[in-house]
Amino acid sequence: MAETVTRTKLTVKYVERLAKEMPTSDVWDTDLAGFHVRPGKRGLTFRLYYRTKTNKRRMMTLGAYGTLTVAQARKNATEALAVVAQGGDPRAVIEKDKVDEEYRQQQTISAYLNGPYAVVQRRKKDGDATVRRIRNAFKSWLEKPMSEVTRADIERWQGEREAKGEAYSTSKRHLGALKTMLAHAADRKVISTNPLARINLQRPAMTEDEMAEQSSQRRYLEACEVEALFIGLESYQEQKRKQRRSSRAHGKVYLPDLGGVTYVDHVVPWIMTMYYTGFRPGALFGLRWEQVNLDFRTVRKVIEKTAHHRPEPMTFPLSTSAVKVLKGWHQQQGEPKSGLVFPSGRSGKRMSPTAMQKPWANVRKLAGLPDDLHLYSLRHNFASQLVMAGIDLLTVSKLMAHSDIQTTIQHYAHLRPDHSRDAVEVFAHQTAQGMSKLGTSDSQSQFSIA
């Protein structure tokens, strides 16, 4: 027996009644061809039947009643039939939009950060921290497609971070991490281009206090400060020895006596090595005995900070003073052939990036050095003293392991001895000699050559 086809105008009241009574078959609209409702376990669903230009029968689901009103469903059906009338296929358009949306979701910051980029970062020493930095700093952007990040987004983001009191340098590091990730995605053709390639943060105007602080951070040590530093290092050693004598006198005789050792712990050789080499703190934390050749007086290692674009090891010469420090520490450690040069005294593993902050503050206090003299100033002092001694900037750049000599020029070129006056004096002297050979004296010429 053939199924009875119900046809009627699908009005609001009629569809409401259908939803309550739930018919057993489809109900077709009499006003709009192909528009109908289908009953199901979850209620009524608006659908549209149509034929494509090639006479192919197609059925298109418009949406569930309750999610769509009758008017909305009819409007969507009318628009779909208009597409059919123009030779198109509305269902194919919707399917394409769905595929496009799925592809769009795959291109979001979150999808790439937690997927391909996380795999890349796991191979790096601080990769997990980089992933966390991006995730935390750009939390509200995680579902945004990478290619849709704009300059306006960055400007708003910077304003929000500044309002929260975040330092410009911190925001710059956050943005740098995101830009590197987008560049990686562009390089792998996941997105066509890096939308932030030419976008940088706007540097806020510095206050007088900030300018004074910045200038104090990147500076060299005066002669009196160098003398005070070494006095502070000796005071630190004596302080530790005194504390150890007190501990042993109060029952802790199992603790080793520090009176007969060159260094009471890693602090003094660590600081002195940084002073004599200009190495970054991270390079010292990761320095291994396999990389140190005390006979040839060299250190050969990959620089961690620039390892992502310069993975080959670099060789650094060691001064006599640096060799003396490292030899003394090497002997005190039992002359190991491998392992970290400065391991953690507690775990024996690599020290944390902040491990030297408190010891340095103690040394600085004992030395009477200013609070704004940061540990990193020892690295700046190394470069500054070399430049002021007349060492060429290319050599200094190599010793500092700068990835670009422009960094050396930017921060240290102003310290070079002023050879320009000597140069013009040479020129004037040669001119005077030339004139004397021509038999023209200063008194005979209307021009005087000094």
342-385 pLDDT tens trace? 999 889 999 998 899 999 999 999 999 998 889 999 999 999 99
User: Which amino acid does the sequence have at 281?
Assistant: P
| Cα 97 from Cα 107, distance rounded (Å) | 15
Residues 99 and 199 in one domain: no
What pLDDT is recorded for position 77?
92
What pLDDT is recorded for position 191?
87
Confidence of residue 104 (pLDDT cuts 50, 70, 90): low
Residues 155 and 231 in one domain: no
Confidence of residue 270 (pLDDT cuts 50, 70, 90): very high
Residues 159 and 33 in one domain: no
5-16 tens-digit pLDDT: 889 999 999 999
What pLDDT is recorded for position 260?
87
Is 414 or 145 the better-scoring residue by pLDDT?
145
**In the numeric block, which tokens belong to residue 245?**
């004598």
Domain termination residue (choose one: 204, 234, 257): 204
3-state secondary structure of 276: helix
Q: Residue 68: CA atoms inside 13 Å, Cβ hemisphere, count? A: 20
Residues 98 and 39 in one domain: yes
> Which phi and psi (to 5°) does residue 423 adopt?
-65, -45
Residues 402 and 426 in one domain: no
| Model confidence at 407: pLDDT above 90 | no
| Cα 46 from Cα 62, distance rounded (Å) | 5
What pLDDT is recorded for position 38?
94
Q: Residue 187: CA atoms inside 13 Å, Cβ hemisphere, count? A: 9
**In the numeric block, which tokens belong to residue 343?**
């391991």
Q: What is the DSSP letter of 306?
A: G
| Model confidence at 144: pLDDT above 50 | yes
Residues 275 and 407 in one domain: yes
What pLDDT is recorded for position 411?
83
| Model confidence at 100: pLDDT above 80 | no
149: containing domain:
109-204
- Residue 1 domain-assigned (yes or no): no
226: Cα separation from own chain's centroid: 34
Number of structural domains found in the chain: 4
Looking at the chain, the whole-number percentage of residues with pLDDT higher than 90 is 55
**In the numeric block, which tokens belong to residue 266?**
């890693």
pTM (2 decimals)? 0.54
What pLDDT is recorded for position 449?
44
| Model confidence at 157: pLDDT above 90 | yes
Output the average pLDDT for the chain: 86
Stretch among 150-154, 178-182, 272-276, 410-414 having the lowest mean pLDDT: 410-414
DSSP per-residue letters across 302-363: --GGGTTT--S-EEEE--HHHHHHHHHHHHHTT--SSSBSS--TTTSSPPPTTTTHHHHHHH
| Model confidence at 440: pLDDT above 60 | no
Residues 309 and 321 in one domain: yes
Residues 133 and 87 in one domain: no
Q: What strands, in cross-sheet order, belong to the sheet with 314-317?
A: 292-293, 298-301, 314-317
| Cα 125 from Cα 148, distance rounded (Å) | 30
